[in-house]
C-alpha cells in the first residue's frame, strides 16, 4: 500500500472538481513534454495498482456539460470495453466515456503485408468506416463535442497527417484542421507542392476535448484524456489500414505518443523517423505550437521535417 498521509491525504479529501481535474491531467501527456510532478506520479501509481480508490468511485451519469464521468478505478486492462450507460442516443443523458488505464493495442503486422485493395474499394471502405464511426461515437456527443470529426481527404493518399483532435471550429464544421492551425497546415501542405485534397488529414481523437472554463463559462480546449484517446484511436488504426499511406506526419506530441507509443519528449522526437506498422512516420511540431512560437528557428525545423518527407515520397524539393 502507498502510505496515505500529509499532502496526499489532503488531496484525497479535496472536492470533486479538483479530483477530476487532476485525474484528467494525469491522463494527458501535458503539452510538449511536460513531465509528471512527484505527487501526481504517486497518485497515478496508487490508482494503477488499485491501492487507492477514488472517493468518487461509483460511476454516475455526467450532469455538468463537458464532464467526463466519475470512474471506477480498476486494475489495468489491456483493452478497454466501451459500454454505454445512456438508455439510447439522444435521450438527453450523456454517455460516460469509460475509464481507461491502457490504450487498445496497435493492430499487428505491417500494412504492406495486407491483401491488396483497389482504389475504389479504399474509397468505399473509408466511407463505410466513417458511417460506422459516426454512429458509434455519436453516443458520446455533448454540448462541447457536437460532431464526430472523422477526418477527410484522399482515401488513396500517399501522405497522411495526424493531429491531436478537433477544436471549436472543427467541431462546428465536422472537418479536421479548419481553424487557425488548419490554415497553417494548408500552407505547409502547399509548400510541399501538394493540395489539401491530395492528402488525408485525421486526428487521434474524433471528438472535441474541452471543458467549460469556470471564468468565462465557455468551452476551453484541453489535451484529450487517456479514456478519450482509447475511445477514438481504434478508428484511426482502421483508417490507416484502409488508406495505406506511404508516409505519415504526426503533428504534436499526443499524436506521435499515442500512435506509436513513444515516451520521449517532442524536442527529441521531432525530425526523427519512427515506424507504424511498416509505414515511416515523421513527428513534427503541431501548427498550433508554431502559431504560439512562430520563430524562424521553429519554422526552419518544421520545414526541414517536411523536406525529409518530400524526399521519402520522391516529391521535387
Ligand atoms: N488541432 C488538431 O490537432 N486537430 C484538428 O483537427 C484541429 C486542430
- What digits encode the pLDDT tens for the residues 57-116? 323 233 233 323 333 333 333 333 333 333 334 434 467 898 888 999 999 999 999 999
* Residue 177 falls in which region: left (phi positive, over 0), alpha (psi -120 to 50) or beta: left
The protein residue whose alpha carbon is closest to atom 7 in ligand 1 is 177
Q: Which stretches of 151-304 are assigned E, i.e. beta strand?
A: 152-153, 159-163, 200-203, 210-212, 219-221, 247-251, 274-276, 279-284
The protein residue whose alpha carbon is closest to atom 4 in ligand 1 is 165
Can you tell me the distance from the alpha carbon of 27 to that of 229, in angstroms, rounded to the nearest whole number?
A: 10
As for ligand 1, residues whose beta carbon falls within 6 Å of it are 163-167, 170, 176-177, 179, 181-182, 203
> Is a pLDDT exceeding 50 seen at residue 27?
no
Can you tell me the distance from the alpha carbon of 88 to that of 86, in angstroms, rounded to the nearest whole number?
A: 5
Asked: is 89-313 a CATH 3.40.470.10 domain? The reply is yes
Nearest atom of ligand 1 to the alpha carbon of 164: 3
Nearest atom of ligand 1 to the alpha carbon of 287: 1
Nearest atom of ligand 1 to the alpha carbon of 149: 6
Measuring CA to CA, which residue among 15, 273, 222, 227 is closest to residue 102?
A: 227
Give the pLDDT confidence of 69-82 residue by residue, as tens digits: 333 333 333 333 33
- The full DSSP string for 181-198 is HHHHHHHHHHHTT--GGG
Nearest atom of ligand 1 to the alpha carbon of 204: 3
User: How do 200-203 and 152-153 pair as beta strands?
Assistant: antiparallel
Q: Which grid cell sits at 2?
A: 502507498
Enumerate the domain spans of the chain. 1-70, 89-313
* Residue 287 falls in which region: left (phi positive, over 0), alpha (psi -120 to 50) or beta: alpha
CB 160 within 8 A of CB 240: yes
pLDDT band at residue 137 using 50, 70 and 90 as cut-offs: very high
How many angstroms does the Cα of residue 56 sit away from the middle of ligand 1?
Answer: 32
- Burial (CB < 10 A; 0-12, 13-18, 19+), residue 187, is exposed
* Residue 34 falls in which region: left (phi positive, over 0), alpha (psi -120 to 50) or beta: beta
Q: What is the mean pLDDT of residues 139-154?
A: 96
How many angstroms does the Cα of residue 178 sit away from the middle of ligand 1?
Answer: 8
How many angstroms does the Cα of residue 251 sit away from the middle of ligand 1?
Answer: 9
Measuring CA to CA, which residue among 295, 299, 244, 294 is closest to residue 270?
A: 299
Pocket test for ligand 1, best of 167, 186, 196, 256 (most atoms within 8 A of CB): 167
Nearest atom of ligand 1 to the alpha carbon of 181: 8
How many angstroms does the Cα of residue 60 sit away from the middle of ligand 1?
Answer: 30
Give the pLDDT confidence of 183-216 residue by residue, as tens digits: 999 999 999 999 999 999 999 999 999 998 888 9
Amino acid at each position: 500500500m502507498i502510505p496515505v498521509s500529509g499532502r496526499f491525504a489532503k488531496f484525497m479529501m479535496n472536492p470533486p472538481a479538483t479530483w477530476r481535474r487532476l485525474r484528467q491531467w494525469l491522463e494527458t501527456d501535458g503539452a510538449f513534454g511536460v513531465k509528471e510532478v512527484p505527487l501526481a506520479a504517486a497518485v497515478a501509481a496508487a490508482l494503477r495498482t488499485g491501492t487507492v480508490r477514488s472517493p468518487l468511485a461509483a460511476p454516475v451519469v455526467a450532469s455538468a456539460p463537458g464532464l467526463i464521468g466519475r470512474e471506477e478505478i480498476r486494475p489495468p486492462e489491456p483493452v478497454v470495453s466501451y459500454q454505454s450507460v445512456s438508455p439510447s442516443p439522444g435521450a438527453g443523458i450523456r454517455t460516460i466515456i469509460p475509464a481507461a488505464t491502457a490504450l487498445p493495442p496497435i493492430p499487428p503486422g505491417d500494412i504492406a503485408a495486407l491483401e491488396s485493395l483497389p482504389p475504389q474499394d479504399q474509397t468505399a471502405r473509408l466511407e463505410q468506416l466513417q458511417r460506422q464511426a459516426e454512429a458509434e461515437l455519436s453516443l458520446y456527443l455533448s454540448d462541447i463535442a457536437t460532431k464526430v470529426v472523422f477526418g477527410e481527404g484522399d482515401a488513396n493518399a500517399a501522405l497522411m497527417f495526424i493531429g491531436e483532435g478537433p477544436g471549436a471550429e472543427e467541431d462546428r464544421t465536422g472537418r479536421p484542421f479548419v481553424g487557425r492551425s488548419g490554415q497553417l497546415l494548408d500552407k505547409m501542405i502547399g509548400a510541399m507542392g501538394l493540395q489539401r485534397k491530395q492528402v488525408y488529414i485525421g486526428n487521434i481523437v474524433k471528438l472535441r476535448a474541452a471543458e467549460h472554463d469556470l471564468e468565462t463559462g465557455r468551452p476551453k480546449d484541453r489535451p484529450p484524456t487517456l479514456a478519450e484517446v482509447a475511445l477514438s484511436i481504434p478508428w484511426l488504426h482502421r483508417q490507416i489500414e484502409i488508406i495505406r499511406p506511404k508516409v505519415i506526419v504526426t503533428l504534436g506530441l499526443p499524436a506521435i505518443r499515442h500512435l506509436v507509443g513513444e515516451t520521449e519528449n517532442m524536442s527529441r522526437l521531432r525530425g526523427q523517423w519512427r515506424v507504424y506498422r511498416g509505414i515511416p512516420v515523421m513527428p513534427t511540431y503541431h501548427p498550433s505550437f508554431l502559431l504560439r512560437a512562430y520563430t524562424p528557428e521553429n519554422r526552419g525545423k518544421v520545414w526541414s521535417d517536411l523536406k525529409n518527407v518530400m524526399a521519402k515520397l520522391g516529391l521535387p524539393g
